[in-house]
Structure 1
Amino acid sequence: NTAHELGHKKGAGERLLARFALAPSGYGHFAIEHVRGHHRDVATPEDSASSRMGESYYRFIRREIPGAFRRAWHIETERLSRRGQRPVSLANEILQNAAITAVLWLGLLAWLGPLVLPFLLIQAAFAYSLLSSANYVEHYGLRRGRDAQGRYVRPEP
């Protein structure tokens, strides 16, 4: 939740803190997909973080987790393309976030040994499931209609 709130801030320092807060779970792509994708497309078929009416939680997480990563990669690729940069570069925030996670995990492995690996994997799976649970409940069955021009209407309570 801390990373989620920090990711909404405008300041670069706070957004960087969000990325570091996501590092232990390896869910760094969330910082990109949530603000630049989910907020724009919530409650539409394009949003993998919006659960569908009648969709089980287990079916939802099998769609949401890979969907969030694919969408973050697409969003980041478009951002880099507008700047004339290639997706596989040091400017790619997904790769930067993965590097932060790798440094953290490798540092913990070097310090604590291989016995820490099951803990790292379990806590990451737990973090993924907590976020997915929140998304499932908060967005269950929500769907936005379209206006006369075919654009999605604004979400309302």
Structure 2
Amino acid sequence: HELGHKADRLNILFGTLANCAVGYAHFRVEHSRGHHTWVATPEDPASARFGESIYAFATRELPGAFKRGWRNEAERLTRRGEPVWSVNNEILQGFALTFVVAAILIALFGWKVAPFIVAHHFLGWYALTQANYVEHYGLLREKLPNGRYQAVEPRHSW
């Protein structure tokens, strides 16, 4: 998560690899291009609402983050005149890497490793979900008369 916030390519690469290791390839795209814009608003699936349980939050956050990440990546590629389903799609690149790692593990250890891969992915997803839940629980930015939200401040993150 934190490596994805860095400006240099090496840290971004390591952050992306860590996300791909748990099958969460869309995270960096969604987090940097979606969550940072919409944090502490009802439009942000990665901001827990006041009174929302972690379990309700997880069922909203996991699919919501993937959908927004995919939409943001599709918009980026469309602006560049590239097809969404291409080798330049960062989410597809990440899921391809996730698949390759899983395939290598299965080739080395057999199908008996598959439940461990699934459990590893689930625990990684849930760890990121817990972090978002704790960091943004109940925080809400005010909607201004012009329909926009107030600027993001540190108090909207913790």
TM-score interval (norm. to shorter)? over 0.9
String of CA shifts for 1:67-93, please: whole Å, max 9, x gaps: 010000000000001100111111100
What is the Cα deviation at residue 54 of structure 1?
Answer: 1.3
CA separation in 2, counterparts of 1:117 and 1:24? Answer: 14
What is the Cα deviation at residue 18 of structure 1?
Answer: 1.3
TM-score, normalised to structure 1's length?
A: 0.94
Q: In percent, how many aligned pairs have the same letter?
A: 50
Q: Does 1:117 align with 2:114?
A: yes
What is the SS of the residue equivalent to 1:115? helix
CA separation in 1, counterparts of 2:4 and 2:91? Answer: 14
8 Å contact 1:24–1:120 — kept in the other structure? no
CA separation in 2, counterparts of 1:71 and 1:92? Answer: 14
CA separation in 2, counterparts of 1:5 and 1:57? Answer: 22
Mind listing any 5+ residue stretches in structure 1 that lack a counterpart?
none
Q: 2:146 aligns with which of 145, 149, 153?
A: 149
* Amino acid of the structure 2 residue aligned with 1:86: P
Q: Report how many aligned residue pairs link the two structures.
A: 154
CA separation in 2, counterparts of 1:115 and 1:124? Answer: 16
What is the Cα deviation at residue 17 of structure 1?
Answer: 1.6
Mind listing any 5+ residue stretches in structure 2 that lack a counterpart?
none
String of CA shifts for 1:35-56, please: whole Å, max 9, x gaps: 1110111001111000111111
What is the SS of the residue equivalent to 1:50? coil
* Amino acid of the structure 2 residue aligned with 1:11: D
CA separation in 2, counterparts of 1:130 and 1:137? Answer: 11
Runs of 4+ in 1 over 4 A off after TM superposition: none
Q: 1:50 aligns with which of 35, 43, 47?
A: 47
What is the Cα deviation at residue 146 of structure 1?
Answer: 2.0
What is the SS of the residue equivalent to 1:90? coil
Alignment RMSD, CA only?
A: 1.0
